Structure 1
Amino acid sequence: MFRRSRVALGLCAAIAVAGCSHGGKRPTADLAASRVTTIGVNSYLWRATLDALSFMPLLQTDSNGGVVVTDWYVNPQLPTERMKVTVSILDQDLRADAVRVAALREVNRGGQWVSAPVAAATTQKLEDIILTKARDLRRGSVTG
């Protein structure tokens, strides 16, 4: 699955680069238009999501529906805790309310994984990281 998500990321990048070709003429339309229909969701949010979650094993990616689901990830520095994340891209526009993150957390107690609460700040921080990366990608495509 992880290799397939890398291929999807490469494909998204290739689509974005191909879409920026303008034969030396200055385009009149914004190169980084917020509406993207090639993959079903905003390509900047999609690529930013894959980049932000690249350290976690991916379980499912759906570029048409805008959903990325990770498998359980155990931080090597905290082996008694694991996280699983689902990111949903809700719109074709690059907007703050177009991305939602849900997370599950479990802690190991006596060899058994037990559900534990996730701090609201954790999902908010991941949403902010994705949005910042998406905006950086958009800025890069306008100047590049």
Structure 2
Amino acid sequence: MNRLLRCAILGSLILPLVACGGRERPKTDIAASKVTTIGVNAYLWRASLDTISFMPILQTDSNGGVIVTDWYVNPNVPTERVKITITILDQDLRADALRVASLREVNRNGQWVSAPVQAATVQKLEDIILTRARDLRRAAIVD
């Protein structure tokens, strides 16, 4: 076999191995729990935005995973307002990758005064976001 033909044959065998790191590429799941086109899990991010879509958004950082709302006054309870900060801590779709913090104020004689937030309120909001994120993931698997 001449040298040019040998180089062509070896090149066609070695090039794909070098390009893939010498091993078979893992099969990717389109709806994998780890979606990193942004800095955090895309399902948690989308679910968080969907869940608080009725509130005015003050700041978002998809790479850092932070969503901060402005004060929201429920029209049914005009003497109370809330502000929410959602932090997504990981790229995986896991319950411990989500943190929700809430501030609550009540209006007393024209002044907004800090008031306690029930822990169950924050927990319920986290549960709603996680459920929505899982639903989004399931929908992506089906599609």
Same fold by TM-score, threshold 0.5 exceeded?
Answer: yes
Partner of 2:23: none
Partner of 1:73: 72
The code of the aligned residue for 1:113 comes to W
Whole-Å Cα distance in 2 between the matches of residues 138 and 36 of structure 1?
Answer: 10
Unaligned runs of 5+ in 2: 1-26
The whole-number CA distance in structure 1 between the counterparts of 2:28 and 2:57 is 35
Letter in 2 for 1:119: Q
| Alignment partner, residue 12 of structure 1 | none
C-alpha separation in 2, matches of 1:34 and 1:129 = 18
Is 1:96 the counterpart of 2:95 in the alignment? yes
Percent pairwise identity: 77
How high is the TM-score relative to the length of structure 1?
Answer: 0.80
What corresponds to 2:109 in structure 1? 110
Q: Matched residues in 2 for 1:137 and 1:33: separation?
A: 11
Question: Counterparts of 2:131 and 2:33 in 1: how far apart (Å)?
Answer: 15
Larger gyration radius, structure 1 or structure 2: 2
Deviations 1:43-93 (A, max 9, x none): 000000000010000000000000000000000000000000000000000
3-state DSSP of counterpart to 1:77: coil
| TM-aligned CA deviation for residue 36 of structure 1 | 1.9
Runs of 4 or more consecutive aligned structure 1 residues displaced over 4 Å after TM superposition: none
Following the alignment from structure 1 to structure 2, what is the Cα–Cα distance between the partners of residues 122 and 61?
Answer: 22
Q: Report the alpha carbon displacement of residue 35 of structure 1 after superposing the two structures with TM.
A: 1.5
The TM-score normalised by the length of structure 2 is 0.80
Question: Structure 1: 5+ residue runs without aligned partners?
Answer: 1-27
After TM superposition, list the pairs within 5 Å mapping 1:1-144 onto structure 2: 28-144=27-143
Superimposed CA distance per residue, residues 4-53 of structure 1 (whole angstroms, 9 cap, x where no aligned partner): xxxxxxxxxxxxxxxxxxxxxxxx53221111221100000000000001
Distance in 2 between residues matched to 1:96 and 1:37, nearest whole Å: 17
- Partner residue in 2 for 1:25: none
In the alignment, the residues of structure 1 paired with residue 30 and residue 37 of structure 2 have an alpha-carbon distance, to the nearest angstrom, of 14
Rounded to whole Å, the distance in 2 between the matches of 1:106 and 1:97 is: 27
Q: Provide the aligned C-alpha RMSD in A.
A: 0.7
Partner of 2:5: none
Q: What is the SS of the residue equivalent to 1:103?
A: strand
